Structure 1
């Protein structure tokens, strides 16, 4: 049985593909000497189940030591029915530095462990439909220097909020036939003021006479359609209007999506490429200290989701697990998540789009802490901007995404002598604003705000004593928000530029430690002292939430966290997703109308909590067909 067999790119769908998940040859290259030892051309010594990383149980390897380099090999026949097409070899994610050979020839390279890349095989000898090709991948992951890696531990053991590492392939590998004049990922922008979906479409290449044709559909049929000449600019754009009687805004209460069908026509009107996508008609805007969804303030009751799984680590064991995590969050009363220190796979965002789940996209920037002079140990480099740009391009069109967070918990004193962190933070912020003018951007979450014009301001507050927690946030009304200080420092040295009245939220709080079975020395931890009883837990959770909900200058919060993750045992659910608490009480603590909603006359009506999806529950899938590979 092929693991993770579902289509990996549901917002950019072509009808034919070949899933390459399953058994591959595999070998650990401890000294990163495999190239010199000829691993490109000789058989490898072991086996692995792709797409699971070798540190995971589901991979069949389960080696949790530092893996400087790993190698993969597989032979596959390109389907004969793809005759006349070019072939792309896709990798949804490989951590960290990947080189790909096909039939002994280098086919591509990519740095960055969280974003997809593809190798065009048209120049590879023997790599055409009907032929068997040999794919070899080397992934290097030295965990030295400035390298974005999120929550992967930098020592052998897990510690506090750092967890088991991930090396090599950890998302789907697949082949795809494409036209010589292939369309690239469509960019879909909703405009609810004008009732249109704006399509921007780029191409691999063009020629005279090509036209772009697109149509928008809902369950009643065609909503609108249009076509435009492509021209020589490699970019074509058109508007797809939504008539008033077909207008249906995307929201958590009604996550309506329009299907989008896009075709590239030649000079004779014949279709030479076609893709399908979808879009939601919704807006995100700022009004004073409120963040608006479709013109109305909606308090963002978010939960921190780190996307780890007991047996798959960064890779969900199956597609149902992705849907289930969203359903579990909704069942606990949250309306969205901060996707923390990980670029989640595209199928998670697909399910969030369909379930009306609000998310903040975040770059896994941890990994830039280097030893050095005091106050100068945060040194992100230009690769951060490159890799974050790839994530923005991949995820721009998802309606579920309501904000961007390029960096998390950077900290360094404000000084004119140490500027690298300032430069990269500003570069990440400006890159995000240039890529997306439709969503708010926070320059960095928690601790060190370094861009004056950041759209959003926040802090992280894990104070557990309710009175002190409330006191921390009384100053927001006078423009004096709670600010994070330098870790373990007694000096009141500024880490952030001044607050200028932006929308504010506490983007990490709570994290209440709860594991009554924890024993001495087992590493279990959370924030603060573990409550003495469940009743004490509920009381603390309720008052922390109420403090933020009742603050009229607060647009949202993010509770830490959805599930336990290894030794960090402060989740609403256990690591295996079983319940720890009475969810009715967790839910009721969050159902209180927020002050920022009440000030606008918006009182959310209680809703029937979402029920966790069970294995086999249907959610409409894109119409694709995958050739079946047999060795």
Structure 2
């Protein structure tokens, strides 16, 4: 239930859809609490001084506030009414994302709290907000940027600097209400495609699960019902269903044909036949596998022509101004010849992944781990002389690792079902020079790798992107290489053909750990070619290496760098930096406002040759 007059009115959770809902986006009361003293000053009880447009963060233009200073705490307040028709159900108040420590009160009662700025959470407000009556929700978000917390590319200094950008504080994704049955309710399912056995496996959590309830799932395509399965609740911790896909109805999800099956879920009273709860989902039948140096999709090597996407917008910062803007970013990448993206230092909103599923756009999920280390200019995990994690603010060396594991697993659980997501990367450019000690860095990296594998054994996991591969336990190995000379760039990566672990010595690796022989490998950041003809003398502007002297020099460099990796038979793919300029980092294929910077025909043509890994037996016949 939403109207077009609301900002971001679309349903926020497309992988698990219920019919009834109420969007709470729009104008809220708002107040900045710079000293974080608002609780003592009565901000929880009284009206707030100003206004803000939710779901846009107060630093953004679209919020109507546009305050980019440090905002240590912010408060929100809004009145709403739970629809009378929901009186026989429990009501959940959802926050798709709020940065960083969020506390929620409804009618003076605390109903929930959550740590982490990238993942959703929900509060049960049934007892605090009776249906048909006015209710007041008050939210406080604490976000001290000088403390140690995973915040991605948000700047730790007052202004933007280097590859750190304007901060995001408080609510930055949709806030909404949802009624669920009182007796028992479906929760987000885990849908695993099993291509080898021609089926989907559904693990369906049920809150209030009890004997006498039956779970029913129906799989459909555009034509009709494909298969149906049922199982009783109470006979296992999670009811599990197998939905077979007969060969005649089998259609695989791929970049060329991103076909999605509909999945209908029902919780049924076995005695009466009454439907207790129902929800809609969808699924793509596809497999991701490793075969030597190749990563295969549905048994065929597909060279991953990825682009780095940081998900920033000039007017919304981390929040897309519209659902159409999410689609447009994917379309822009496809138009430039990329077939996917590394979603960088941000857990993208769920609707982005939904559109990636629909459009056949491959993505890697990554966490916003930068920021751990407090006010230091951090790049991931910083180490003290004794090997422990640098402390920031009042966070001790153990608190940050515990927090990042919890937040990362929330992201993995949220996004597991998306067929477009083909790999996980919890850490980026961790900084550690290994010696005779085993440090927190090693424990964190291995712990996150093992936790991700336990949560999802269907996709490859990259231990850390870029460098400090200190644990030597990873499904895929990578490096970041911003050499701007195509000849030396090619020569260095051709060392792989001689089984030489060159990545042990280049400046982006900073680790003597050898490349594990036979492990798939790619350059997950390269290029970043600096070009902005709009820049005026004195404007903040940077990119990697020397700026090309002419536009033709850009094309020559871009073509040479891409060719060096496309022609390497031990390269599974690459990731070019980046899709758009982001503030002062002006090395995008497009400007920050998404306008064209280059001849897209030439950018696309440079990537469309058949990659060497695709020519091997079982490889794909073409790129996209």
Work out whether the TM-score is over 0.5. yes
Local SS of the residue matching 1:193: helix
Does the 8 Å contact 1:99/1:138 carry over to 2?
Answer: yes
Q: CA deviation at 1:465?
A: 1.1
Local SS of the residue matching 2:503: coil
Alignment deviations for residues 332-351 of structure 1 (CA, whole Å, 9 cap, x no partner): 00000000000000000000
Aligned pairs, number: 602
Q: For residues 217 and 534 of structure 2, what CA distance do their matches in structure 1 show? A: 58
Q: For residues 507 and 386 of structure 2, what CA distance do their matches in structure 1 show? A: 11
Change (3 A) 1:65 1:377: farther
Local SS of the residue matching 1:578: coil
Does the 8 Å contact 2:468/2:510 carry over to 1?
Answer: no
1:361 is aligned, of 347, 365, 374, to 365
1:74 is aligned, of 64, 75, 78, to 78
Q: CA deviation at 1:599?
A: 1.8
Aligned twin of 1:327: 331
Within 5 Å, which residues of 2 pair with 1:154-165? 154-165=156-167
Within 5 Å, which residues of 2 pair with 1:122-201? 122-124=126-128, 127-180=129-182, 181-201=184-204
Aligned twin of 1:619: none
Q: For residues 606 and 426 of structure 1, what CA distance do their matches in structure 2 show? A: 34
Aligned twin of 2:430: 410
Within 5 Å, which residues of 2 pair with 1:108-507? 108-124=112-128, 127-180=129-182, 181-231=184-234, 233-267=236-270, 268-369=272-373, 373-374=384-385, 376=387, 378-379=389-390, 380-417=400-437, 419-483=439-503, 494=511, 496=513, 498-507=515-524
Aligned twin of 1:15: 19
Local SS of the residue matching 2:204: strand
User: Is residue 589 from structure 1 mapped to residue 606 from structure 2 by the alignment?
Assistant: yes
Does the 8 Å contact 1:446/1:484 carry over to 2?
Answer: no
Q: CA deviation at 1:606?
A: 6.7
How large is the Cα RMSD of the aligned pairs?
Answer: 1.6
Scaled by the length of structure 1, what TM-score is found? Answer: 0.93
Q: For residues 255 and 493 of structure 1, what CA distance do their matches in structure 2 show? A: 39
Aligned twin of 2:525: 508
Q: CA deviation at 1:81?
A: 1.2
Alignment deviations for residues 220-265 of structure 1 (CA, whole Å, 9 cap, x no partner): 0100001110116441011001011100000000000000000001
Aligned twin of 1:541: 558
Change (3 A) 1:29 1:155: same
Alignment deviations for residues 172-193 of structure 1 (CA, whole Å, 9 cap, x no partner): 0000000121111011001111
Local SS of the residue matching 1:282: coil
Does the 8 Å contact 2:302/2:623 carry over to 1?
Answer: no
Does the 8 Å contact 1:210/1:229 carry over to 2?
Answer: yes
Alignment deviations for residues 21-63 of structure 1 (CA, whole Å, 9 cap, x no partner): 0000000000000011111100000000000000000000000
Does the 8 Å contact 1:451/1:497 carry over to 2?
Answer: no
Q: For residues 118 and 204 of structure 2, what CA distance do their matches in structure 1 show? A: 24
Does the 8 Å contact 1:375/1:413 carry over to 2?
Answer: no
Q: CA deviation at 1:468?
A: 1.4
Scaled by the length of structure 2, what TM-score is found? Answer: 0.94
| Bigger shift: residues 518-527 or 422-431 | 518-527
Local SS of the residue matching 1:477: helix
Does the 8 Å contact 1:332/1:584 carry over to 2?
Answer: yes
Q: For residues 367 and 39 of structure 1, what CA distance do their matches in structure 2 show? A: 29
Note the residue ranges of structure 1 that are not aligned, 5 or more in a row. Answer: 608-631
Alignment deviations for residues 90-128 of structure 1 (CA, whole Å, 9 cap, x no partner): 00000000000000010000000000000011332xx12
Aligned twin of 2:590: 573
Q: For residues 62 and 248 of structure 1, what CA distance do their matches in structure 2 show? A: 48
Aligned twin of 1:629: none
Aligned twin of 2:87: 83
Local SS of the residue matching 2:605: helix
Alignment deviations for residues 281-311 of structure 1 (CA, whole Å, 9 cap, x no partner): 0000000110000001110000000000000
| Bigger shift: residues 398-407 or 115-124 | 115-124
| Bigger shift: residues 360-369 or 313-322 | 360-369
Q: For residues 495 and 66 of structure 1, what CA distance do their matches in structure 2 show? A: 39
